[in-house]
């Protein structure tokens, strides 16, 4: 890979006086301003003892500081651990421990969680690598540990160093085959090259292109388009969290041309004020909410340039987008054509045979912008990447004759909750920790046009657990979207025998959940 494909190289390709970031209040950072801001972030990190290869955990909503710390860490060869602002104590504890982060930088009490209270529930003493807690706001000590105030204004900026494209720079969390999230490692080269590919392919490099960053930077769907905008020279209008009123205001005032987000995001903006999309050229969307496709088709028929997308933490978001010149029904499917070059193939998950166009199988991807492996998890990396360099996506797709592909579903039991792909085992593990629980199973079902988790629990013989007690136990430990909508108690799970042993019938559990929720109503 070209060693000049670094984060600093993305900035050096921009004119210093160009607008780069626009805040909700209208304040603007130019490219020159941002270079200085990133240099100050690098200097502050060095002052905290951060060295090449160290990890810095960011638990922040979208803001200029988030991006400045990313670019600052890249400048000195350090790595950012991107933490979902909705995470609770159990999830935060795992990511901090597994990443070996030396610093956790967090904000104040954000919309989705009480950060200070959640940190109080984490066993900080057990996190041997975590040396510093830091915040942009003054904070009271947590578990006897003082909180360092992040003060970027007091340091002199560090200029570009000797960063290489191969330098690891970012760890995303993703659900895997185990009950714990894995950490997906990307280098400066994989992210920067993908940003340049997307800028050229999707029009971020047009002279008047603008982008609305409404999704969180802690995930690829929020960060990758923002990096593409930086690579292409499109000003980024940053929303700390998605609010439809702010999104409409920013889109109209700044004549936003590029949007990426969930189906629900588009519906809310459209219903509030469809004129927000007056200048839209590309609206990439992912279908996270059952029942909205008809609404989106109506919007597309009215002229909104909606197009289905495909991505994953391992291969980046907006890895592919359906071409806008396809018939409406075709372009509304997930998948599309790759940004940049790469190799795709589709394999029968049972026979292992490679499939032809039109046949449904598991997508495998080989691209120079794919992740470099799962952090500290050689075994999982070996399972995910074969000897030819193909990433096994575990997504069911089929290829079209025109070279595009269509995403159908996940080849497994993952469920999409509030837009986040979630392994039910993550929730089951937390429930199983409750006193009196013997086993737990979680399925996702549609309730009032939204997929929600429902739990089935087998208790120990002498347990007096009830639904309220389990709800109270899980609420402090899980992100709000992972908390089961209902808990139902069984004597045994439905099972079936197979060549590989007895398996729990999760499909049957989903049917039971739908029947029980329908009969019992909301909790």
Domain with residue 150: its CATH number is 3.40.50.12780
CA-based nearest residue to 70, from 197, 165, 170: 170
For residues 242 and 111, the model is more confident at 242
- For the chain, the domain total comes to 2
User: Which range, 102-106, 171-175, 438-442, is most confident?
Assistant: 102-106
Q: Do residues 234 and 371 both lie within one domain?
A: yes
pTM for the whole structure: 0.83
Which uninterrupted H or E stretch holds 417?
strand 415-417
Judge whether 217 lies within some domain. yes
Distance CA 69, CA 44 (A): 9
Return the residue matching tokens 């909606």.
306
For residues 435 and 497, the model is more confident at 435
Q: Which long-range contacts does 418-422 make (Cβ < 8 Å, 24+ apart)?
A: 418/86, 418/288, 418/481, 419/221, 419/262, 419/264, 419/286, 419/288, 420/84, 420/219, 420/479, 420/481, 421/174, 421/175, 422/175, 422/453, 422/481, 422/482
Confidence of residue 91 (pLDDT cuts 50, 70, 90): confident
Q: Give the residue from 409, 427, 442 where a domain finishes.
A: 409
Domain membership of residue 107 as a residue range: 7-409
Q: Do residues 404 and 469 both lie within one domain?
A: no
Confidence of residue 290 (pLDDT cuts 50, 70, 90): low
In contact, 384 and 391? CB cutoff 8 Å: yes
Decide: helix, strand or coil at residue 284.
strand
Judge whether 33 lies within some domain. yes
Q: Do residues 260 and 292 both lie within one domain?
A: yes
Q: Do residues 392 and 447 both lie within one domain?
A: no
Q: Do residues 149 and 49 both lie within one domain?
A: yes
- pLDDT tens profile 361-419: 999 999 999 999 999 999 999 999 999 999 999 898 999 999 999 998 766 666 878 87
Mean pLDDT across 159-173: 95
Confidence of residue 52 (pLDDT cuts 50, 70, 90): very high
Distance CA 287, CA 121 (A): 34
**Encoded tokens for 470:** 């389990």
Confidence of residue 496 (pLDDT cuts 50, 70, 90): low
In contact, 166 and 1? CB cutoff 8 Å: yes
Mean pLDDT across 117-126: 94
Confidence of residue 248 (pLDDT cuts 50, 70, 90): very high
Return the residue matching tokens 């139902």.
488
Q: Do residues 372 and 393 both lie within one domain?
A: yes
Q: Do residues 266 and 358 both lie within one domain?
A: yes
Distance CA 439, CA 354 (A): 38
Which uninterrupted H or E stretch holds 424?
helix 424-432
In contact, 213 and 222? CB cutoff 8 Å: yes
| Residue 30 pLDDT | 98
Judge whether 338 lies within some domain. yes
Judge whether 126 lies within some domain. yes
Mean pLDDT across 146-165: 95
Using DSSP bridges, classify how beta strands 28-30 and 19-22 pair: parallel, antiparallel or unpaired: antiparallel
Distance CA 94, CA 433 (A): 15
**Encoded tokens for 63:** 């803001």
- pLDDT tens profile 182-234: 999 999 999 999 999 999 999 999 999 999 999 999 999 999 999 999 999 99
Q: Give the residue from 409, 439, 457 where a domain finishes.
A: 409
Across the chain, which distance is largest between two alpha carbons, in Å?
70
Q: Do residues 383 and 457 both lie within one domain?
A: no
In contact, 285 and 277? CB cutoff 8 Å: no
Q: Give the residue from 366, 390, 409 where a domain finishes.
A: 409
Q: Do residues 355 and 487 both lie within one domain?
A: no
At 418, phi and psi to the nearest 5?
50, 35
For residues 523 and 97, the model is more confident at 97
In contact, 411 and 362? CB cutoff 8 Å: yes
Q: Do residues 308 and 163 both lie within one domain?
A: yes
| Residue 179 pLDDT | 45
Judge whether 470 lies within some domain. yes
CA-based nearest residue to 198, from 60, 51, 367: 367
Q: Do residues 345 and 460 both lie within one domain?
A: no
Bridge-partner residues for 421, per DSSP?
416
User: Looking at the predicted structure, is the pLDDT value of residue 353 above 50?
Assistant: yes
pLDDT > 70 fraction of the chain, expressed in percent and rounded: 93
Mean pLDDT across 299-313: 97
Q: Which long-range contacts does 290-294 make (Cβ < 8 Å, 24+ apart)?
A: 290/446, 290/449, 290/450, 290/451, 291/446, 291/449, 292/263, 292/264, 292/267, 292/449, 293/263, 293/332
Q: Do residues 389 and 476 both lie within one domain?
A: no
Least confident of 12-21, 69-78, 100-109, 119-128: 100-109
Chain-wide mean pLDDT for the chain? 91
Return the residue matching tokens 């996702």.
444
CA-based nearest residue to 266, from 234, 228, 239, 304: 304
User: What's the CATH code of the domain at 487?
Assistant: 3.30.300.30
Judge whether 1 lies within some domain. no
Distance CA 17, CA 431 (A): 53
Cβ burial of 162 (10 Å; 0-12, 13-18, 19+) is exposed
| Residue 292 pLDDT | 82
In contact, 422 and 482? CB cutoff 8 Å: yes
| Residue 498 pLDDT | 38
Distance CA 84, CA 91 (A): 9
| Residue 425 pLDDT | 75
Judge whether 294 lies within some domain. yes
| Residue 503 pLDDT | 63
User: Looking at the predicted structure, is the pLDDT value of residue 276 above 70?
Assistant: yes
| Residue 499 pLDDT | 32
Judge whether 468 lies within some domain. yes
User: Looking at the predicted structure, is the pLDDT value of residue 110 above 60?
Assistant: no
| Residue 109 pLDDT | 57
User: Looking at the predicted structure, is the pLDDT value of residue 512 above 60?
Assistant: yes
């Amino acid at each position: 890979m070209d060693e000049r494909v670094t984060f600093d190289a993305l900035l050096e390709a921009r004119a210093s006086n160009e607008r780069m970031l626009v805040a909700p209040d209208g304040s603007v950072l130019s490219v020159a301003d941002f270079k200085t801001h990133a240099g100050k972030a690098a200097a502050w990190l060095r002052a905290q003892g951060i060295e090449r290869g160290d990890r810095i955990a960011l638990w922040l909503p979208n803001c200029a500081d988030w991006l400045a710390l990313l670019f600052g860490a890249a400048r000195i060869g350090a790595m950012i651990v991107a933490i979902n602002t909705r995470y609770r104590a159990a999830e935060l504890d795992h990511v901090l421990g597994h990443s070996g982060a030396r610093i956790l930088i967090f904000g104040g009490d954000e919309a989705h969680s009480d950060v200070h209270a959640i940190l109080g529930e984490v066993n900080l003493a057990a996190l041997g690598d975590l040396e510093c807690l830091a915040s942009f706001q003054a904070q009271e000590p947590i578990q006897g540990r003082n909180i360092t105030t992040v003060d970027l204004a007091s340091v002199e900026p560090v200029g570009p160093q000797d960063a290489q494209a191969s330098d690891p720079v970012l760890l995303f969390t993703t659900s895997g085959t185990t009950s714990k999230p894995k950490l997906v490692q990307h280098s400066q080269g994989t992210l920067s090259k993908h940003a340049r590919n997307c800028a050229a392919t999707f029009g971020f490099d047009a002279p008047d292109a603008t982008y609305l960053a409404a999704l969180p930077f802690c995930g690829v769907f929020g960060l990758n388009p923002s990096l593409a905008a930086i690579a292409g020279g499109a000003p980024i209008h940053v929303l700390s969290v998605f609010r439809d009123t702010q999104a409409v205001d920013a889109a109209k005032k700044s004549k936003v041309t590029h949007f990426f987000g969930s189906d629900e995001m588009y519906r809310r903006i459209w219903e509030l004020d469809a004129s927000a999309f007056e200048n839209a050229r590309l609206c990439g969307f992912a279908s996270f909410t059952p029942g909205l496709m008809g609404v989106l088709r109506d919007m597309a028929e009215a002229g909104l340039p909606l197009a289905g997308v495909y991505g994953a933490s391992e291969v980046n978001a907006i890895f592919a987008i359906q071409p806008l010149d396809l018939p409406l029904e075709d372009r509304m499917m997930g998948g599309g054509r790759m940004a940049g070059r790469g190799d795709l193939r589709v394999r029968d998950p049972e026979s292992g045979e490679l499939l032809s166009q039109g046949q449904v199988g598991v997508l495998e991807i080989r691209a120079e912008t794919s992740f470099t492996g799962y952090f500290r998890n050689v075994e999982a990396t070996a399972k995910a990447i074969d000897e030819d360099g193909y990433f096994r996506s575990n997504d069911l797709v089929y290829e079209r004759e025109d070279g595009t592909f269509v995403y159908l579903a996940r080849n497994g039991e993952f469920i999409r909750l509030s837009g986040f792909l979630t392994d039910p085992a993550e929730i089951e593990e937390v429930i199983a920790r409750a006193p009196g629980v013997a086993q737990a199973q979680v399925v996702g079902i549609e309730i009032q046009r939204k997929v929600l988790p429902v739990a089935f629990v087998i208790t120990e013989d002498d347990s007096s657990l009830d639904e309220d007690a389990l709800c109270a136990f899980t609420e402090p430990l899980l992100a709000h979207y992972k908390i089961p909508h209902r808990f139902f108690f069984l004597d045994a799970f439905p099972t079936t025998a197979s060549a590989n042993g007895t398996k729990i019938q999760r499909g049957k559990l989903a049917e039971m959940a739908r029947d029980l929720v329908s009969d019992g109503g909301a909790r």
